[in-house]
Structure 1
């Protein structure tokens, strides 16, 4: 796995396609009752709500619909409510279409929408966790997700972190806070790192972190 200093416009699309090929078949196999399961990482939302949110977000990207309030908590709730009467199969259809078509739009947006692709991948992990299915915050898309996480944290001047991952040969160099602050040090597995950066629960014995607080890593502000 090689990480680059510049933006890779095709990276978000590759992440979405890799996740689509694994995630959509998983959803097609599930019964309607499983779409009503709660999602621990998203209080008040069921699996169906998360999928409706994900599909709606990608549809907005594909159709370039970014009116006021989009991607806010209130806007997300409106998108979910608009799909309340849809059968689960239609919710999955929309998500599949979005994961297939959004990559080119994201590539051409100059980086402004890269975080959407990463968030979609994270929410797929949330759903896997709700199902008790393997591969949450991992799987074939993990190398793409890590490279995208590295890029996103740099562009946001996030806290600097040198991450030595148990399951990858090369370290990640995340963040770029201006000034003289030395990088924090993370040692652990890649999915634990993802969980920390996205505010998901992670067992303390799965990682070591020195030079920063866990809350400083959370991209979504805790």
Structure 2
């Protein structure tokens, strides 16, 4: 088996390494957390069911930390992800990693950072939820830690948050993006909250073994890597 998907997460893995381990990495399906179309969810469910039947080794699935966020847990996206988790958990020999906001090279306009960056670069007004908290993770770090877990046979049949220890409010995040782009944002504040600080235990336990810097400033470094000078 190998990698299922062609998007940001799928491209971060080495298909030959996954094949050598006899594993399947499911990195496909609904990528827009605002999705409401039932047909999109049905498509992922059908693809996942087929992949589970075909897989003979360990099965890796990427879910979302929003399933435990009171502000988003009832959304169609979060409800769907919990259903997919249940299918995989019933099979066994799996690893489910719940992710926060994933950052990498992608044209997907629905990611939080792409949305904010596009608005700032084009001068469009942003609405910033004044109490909302978000956590960002580098897609390369997802791949590195996942491969470490697979290669060493760790965390069997577990459902885990995979998130760095740094969570920021959107009011804290916005200046970091402005600093990275060298542009000021036009924005208004909305008195809303939402979001949570996911469990960073798994990330912190395995990051250093994977050569990942977990020191303070993770989010700033991440933004510079993908949106700093020379990344236009």
TM interval, shorter chain, is under 0.3
Structure number with the higher helix fraction is 1
Structure number with the higher strand fraction is 2
Using the size of structure 1 for normalisation, the TM-score is 0.28
Using the size of structure 2 for normalisation, the TM-score is 0.27
